[in-house]
Structure 1
Amino acid sequence: MTLTLTERTGARVLVDQLLAQGVDRASCVPGESYLSVLDALIGSGVDLLTCRQEGGAAMMAEAWGKLTGRPGICFVTRGPGATNAAAGVHVAAQDSTPMILFVGQVARGMKHREAFQELDYGQVFGTMAKWVVEIDDAARIPELIARAFRVAMQGRPGPVVVALPEDMLDDVVTVADAPRADPAETAPVAADMERLADLLEGAQKPFAIFGGSRWDADAVSAFTGLCERYAIPFAASFRRAGMVPAQHPNYAGDLSLGANPALVKAIGEADLVLIVNSRMSEISSQSYTLLPIPSGSQTLVHIHADPDEIGRVYQPALGINASPRGLAPALDTLSPSAPRQGAWVAEARAGYIDWSEEPKQNPGTLQMGQVLRWMRDTLPDDAILTNGAGNFAVWLNRYYRFRTFNTHLAPTSGSMGYGFPAGIAAKRAHPDRVVVNLAGDGDFMMTVQEFATCAHHGIPLIVVLVDNGMYGTIRAHQEREFPGRVSATSLTNPDFVALAEAHGGFGQRVEKAEDFADAFSAAQASGKPAILHLILDPEALSPTATITGLRARAK
């Protein structure tokens, strides 16, 4: 391989490395600490979204990481810009998403004086990022950026933070570009697959749980094919339902907040539990009650791309270090010695259908179950749905059925405000697809300023905003612990229709589920960023919880 040495500024070297790694878009809030990079991006072909707050910018980059499997890119300025962006870095960490946050830094000669907006980024991001590096020598930019991409993607993916001293970006160096970095795929050894085959052969009621990141459509197909051959029902871990088709006959639902009790019961009755690339964190494990810790009578098989996740909480009978793509060819080789009975699968599937089919009546005029059913039955198969955190998402978890790979963007970290910037990122990346952000009023207001980003860049995202005038999740906990004593959970909201129109967007108020279809069609026809303002009765905290009911149970 011939390397071409080129004389360039550090900023130009940096942008050229992004291009070499296949970066075609990035988000930012501009700052004086990296003006040279902003200049170098001119004419580069990188689609740069100018955002209104660094948290939203970082969440957009995280969403691109989820959609592509390669690091989403975000640029922010030093100090307060970096700390604002920490919200998105935390999402990427807990969601196992590849992402690189570039942050400005003071000039090298000013370090360690607490200069203007100076921070020690290793200290600030050390518990969130997989790696934090400050580039003091422009000649090392190709080396360190290539490493940053690998670290972000390999093993259990996550965020990397790269600090850029302001004066370093103007240094002129003669260096070659680094080649494109692709993550190493880990594959299982033959002995482990033989052991897995033996365990599956002997299981009477196996159950599979998948999750995490690093999947592609072929890896999903290999996993579902194994489940078909061995008659294994399977469930998605928290926020991963959009990875597999819900219409698959072995699909039994997702382990989310408000999970189906029948699903939880079925997993408890399984004699073998196969976990593929999920770390089974607090929500998926139903507050660490789903499986015994450290082990129990069930045979546990845990397959994960990162060996450090195997045995972190649960001690498996068989642990296999393999990424989903590395595992897929090995799964394709496994078949039972005789056809398997499907009654166990049919029972689990029936439990899911019963749970998600008929909308449960909620208090008030607007019936959220009907709204989600309409979206489920009407939106195209490749529609992308996004959401942040809040009780409103329980309706989505229960009633919507994802049908195409990688069509759900939501935070396993439970970060409010995530869904809106994630929706912006998805619509920017896929302008020809329907993208809907389902948001709560408290959730949406966390990153509401990015509606200006939508308007500025002409991104016609549709926001379905569920307004019950409160922080609903916290209010539910409050009513359980302190019934009737409301503190800090009530909200006064703006006129969201007027807010949309003030930005040149489309807005419409919806008070009945029967009016939702026409409102949605009008939003699509407008070609503008849109807010459909759904008025939900405050009593309706979730499909199964009301304020009155929680108070009654607490007495």
Structure 2
Amino acid sequence: MSEKAHVTTARRLVETLVMNGIDRVFCVPGESYLAVLDALADVTDRIQVITCRHEAGAANMAEAYGKLTGRPGVCMVTRGPGATHASIGVHTAHQDSTPMILFVGQIAISDRGRGAFQEVDYREVFGGLAKWATELETSTRTVEVVERAFATALQGRMGPVVIALPEDVLEADGGPAAIRPVTPARSALDPAFVAEVGSHLAKAERPLLVLGGSGWTQEATTAIGDWAERIGLPLALSFRRKDLISNDRPNYVGDLGLGPNPALVQRVRDADLIIAVGARLGENPTQGYTLLDREVTPTSLIHIHPGPEELGRVWPPLMSAAADVSLAALALSEIEPGRTWHDQANAGHAAWEVFTTPIPVTGAANMSECMAHLRAVLPADAIITNGAGNYAAWLHRFFPHTAMHTQLAPTSGAMGYGYPAAVAAKCLYPDRDVICVAGDGEYLMTGQELATAVQYGINTVTVIVDNGTYGTIRMHQERDYPGRVIATDLKNPDFVQYARAFGAFGIRCETTQGFPAALAAARNAGQPAIVHLITSAEDIAPGRTITGLRGG
């Protein structure tokens, strides 16, 4: 092709994706961005295009891709309803600090303001959900805008970017080509700051290290994990970040999620120094903003986060720094406090082991035993996904993680996340076990993506926990309005027949004793598979029953 040959905006966009290492695009096709799809047809040897059955599924897959790879997950949808359907994935990426780029087909620039078919102002709609929402209005700036999207998604606190693509711009001259991949800027800790952290740590009697957030490298988690273990520094993980550090480490004391170990809650309250790296210390890790005390944190909290806007947002700190979490972890792991806390760490880990030991239930299928079995038979690198719901409390409590990038779960609390996340994970890592644990209500929000899995031969295994109710809402309903059940009962399909209708494998399980064989059959099916696990709504959450909530 000559220097003066016309290269369209659509082709410049796709070239820039290739330049930046994107190897998957998750989409629902639309006529508003046909030119981009046509450009993707020329690079199928470098980018696999996964066609999904709903934009929420596609967006959740892109978000999961971002979590697993550290590169922006790319989702493409059409205008109007396509974009609003995909907004849930953008919200999750924002809440979970996940790099993601959503490309939205858009009406022609010449038709703006007329109330055109499916017209939406994406800057206005996504302004509060994304780190940056924009519209590509000048075709010759294509690479500039897409490169800025990569930089924005990856720098500071990671998050989503939304770019609207007017259909008349996509066929115009795309301007200059990309020269090199985007390299995100990373800020490190000042050595003087590290030294001061060391000084505070040396004086602490009851310290606690809390890790969370995104942007972690294996090198960094290994370094800070080894350091904390060597000095006996008790280490906790934030909500749905259980895979950052092996839970087998003798100084691991649990995760600060929903329904945490009371012993860990008390440990946080008693701590005279908390070093939080990457964790935002938002509503769920702080138990509804009650776990920390604003009158105490100015003398006890050292907060390190890549986004400066998160520092001092809720909790006034003793010290704070805006820094890349991995660079910060590597720097902190050089501190020699001159003392150790092994007794405290060992006691904390022992309390965690007691808390995660299976418990008795009233029903025939014991979720604590089933999740313990899941951990016992799966390899360490198996990826476990879930969405929102009380069923996830069983998974999080009784399934320990021992390897990085093995947990995909939304801190946003989004239902319907688990199955698309599993499809994305298995697509990326076909040789690894990928197990989705989903509630009956949660699964059907995106369960149609089973068709996507079958179409592309993505052999996920899904354990559908069926208790016939929206469990989390039912639990709160029984607590606040005992016996007055409304709008939470569910009439579910036979998920075995559901799976078979899609060309997948399905098996039903009603007891704890039957779970091992059912799981083995699903794992060995050689096709996407569902285990339909029947549980009792009475066992509404670990340690809680409906009867108990009613005071019976």
Query: Normalising TM by the smaller chain, what interval?
Result: over 0.9
**Contact persistence 2:422–2:434 (CA under 8 A):** yes
Distance in 2 between residues matched to 1:166 and 1:527, nearest whole Å: 41
Deviation at residue 5 of structure 1 after TM alignment: 7.7
Alignment of 1:138-537 (within 5 A): 138-293=139-294, 295-296=296-297, 299-337=300-338, 339-357=339-357, 359-537=358-536
**Contact persistence 2:142–2:174 (CA under 8 A):** no
Deviation at residue 100 of structure 1 after TM alignment: 0.2
* Structure 2 length-normalised TM: 0.97
Q: Which amino acid aligns with 1:80?
A: P
Partner of 2:25: 26
Call closer, same or farther: CA 1:226–1:315 in 2, change over 3 Å: farther
Q: Which amino acid aligns with 2:123?
A: G
Distance in 2 between residues matched to 1:159 and 1:141, nearest whole Å: 18
Deviation at residue 174 of structure 1 after TM alignment: 4.5
Call closer, same or farther: CA 1:382–1:231 in 2, change over 3 Å: same
Deviation at residue 453 of structure 1 after TM alignment: 0.9
Deviation at residue 325 of structure 1 after TM alignment: 2.1
Distance in 1 between residues matched to 2:42 and 2:376, nearest whole Å: 43
Partner secondary structure for residue 526 of structure 1: coil
Q: Which runs of 4+ in 1 moved over 6 A?
A: none
Call closer, same or farther: CA 1:5–1:205 in 2, change over 3 Å: farther
Partner secondary structure for residue 66 of structure 1: helix
Deviation at residue 344 of structure 1 after TM alignment: 0.9
What CA deviation, in whole Å up to 9, does each residue of 1:2-34 have, x standing for no partner?
xx8863111111110100111000100000000
Q: Which amino acid aligns with 1:346?
A: N
Distance in 2 between residues matched to 1:470 and 1:54, nearest whole Å: 25
Distance in 2 between residues matched to 1:414 and 1:456, nearest whole Å: 28
Deviation at residue 238 of structure 1 after TM alignment: 0.4
Q: Which amino acid aligns with 2:188?
A: A
Q: Where does structure 2 lack aligned partners over 5 or more consecutive residues?
A: none
Distance in 2 between residues matched to 1:108 and 1:178, nearest whole Å: 28
Deviation at residue 297 of structure 1 after TM alignment: 7.4
Distance in 2 between residues matched to 1:240 and 1:383, nearest whole Å: 15
1:116 aligns with 2:144: no
Deviation at residue 451 of structure 1 after TM alignment: 1.1
What CA deviation, in whole Å up to 9, does each residue of 1:109-154 have, x standing for no partner?
1011111101000110011000011111221111110110000011
Partner secondary structure for residue 199 of structure 1: helix
Alignment of 1:18-167 (within 5 A): 18-44=17-43, 45-167=46-168
Partner secondary structure for residue 35 of structure 2: helix
Moved more, 428-437 or 290-299: 290-299
What CA deviation, in whole Å up to 9, does each residue of 1:209-236 have, x standing for no partner?
1100000111112221332343210111
Q: Which amino acid aligns with 2:497?
A: A
* Structure 1 length-normalised TM: 0.97
Deviation at residue 355 of structure 1 after TM alignment: 0.4
Q: Which amino acid aligns with 1:150?
A: A
**Contact persistence 2:9–2:175 (CA under 8 A):** no
Moved more, 475-484 or 325-334: 325-334
Q: Percent identity?
A: 49
Q: Which amino acid aligns with 2:280?
A: R
What CA deviation, in whole Å up to 9, does each residue of 1:369-393 have, x standing for no partner?
1101101111000000000000000
Q: Which amino acid aligns with 1:354?
A: V
**Cα-Cα RMSD:** 1.3
Moved more, 512-521 or 101-110: 512-521
Moved more, 86-95 or 518-527: 518-527
Deviation at residue 395 of structure 1 after TM alignment: 0.6
**Contact persistence 2:199–2:337 (CA under 8 A):** no
Deviation at residue 465 of structure 1 after TM alignment: 0.5
Deviation at residue 340 of structure 1 after TM alignment: 1.7
Q: Which amino acid aligns with 1:308?
A: E
Distance in 1 between residues matched to 2:248 and 2:13, nearest whole Å: 45
